[in-house]
Amino acid sequence: MPNGFPTPDIVESTAMGSASSRAQCAALWREYAAATYEHVRLLTECAVPSGTDVSDFQALVSQAESAAKRRREARAAVKLHLATAHPPREAAAQAFGSD
Ligand SMILES: [Zn+2]
């Protein structure tokens, strides 16, 4: 993001319901969906190694761990977003839970 642009937090609090807020909402959900998809894809690859090369398998495990971290962060971002940008849905954010 270029210098001088408002941070997402400021956009969220000053432009509630604006196009930029809705765009951020969609982007957070897209990122969570993409992170989840990638994590599951990598876990599937880990479960069925295509070869017997141990270093390949270790690389896959490492990628899956990175994907898991990205998924947790995306989930936390969505949860925070639900609690801050959609106050009436605070209960829904809590029901969303954690992993
Ligand atoms: Zn939202």
| pLDDT the model gives residue 16 | 52
| pLDDT the model gives residue 14 | 45
Q: How far is the CA of 37 from the centre of ligand 1 (A)?
A: 20
| pLDDT the model gives residue 34 | 97
Per-residue confidence band for 1, with pLDDT thresholds at 50, 70 and 90: very low
Task: Give the pLDDT mean for 78-95.
Answer: 74
pTM summary value? 0.62
Q: Encode 11-60 in three state secondary structure.
A: HHHHCCCCHHHHHHHHHHHHHHHHHHHHHHHHHHHHHCCCCCCHHHHHHH
- Taking the CA of residue 15 as centre, how many other CA atoms within 13 Å lie in the half-sphere pointing to its CB? 15
Q: How far is the CA of 86 from the centre of ligand 1 (A)?
A: 6
| pLDDT the model gives residue 41 | 93
Secondary structure (3-state) at 99 = coil
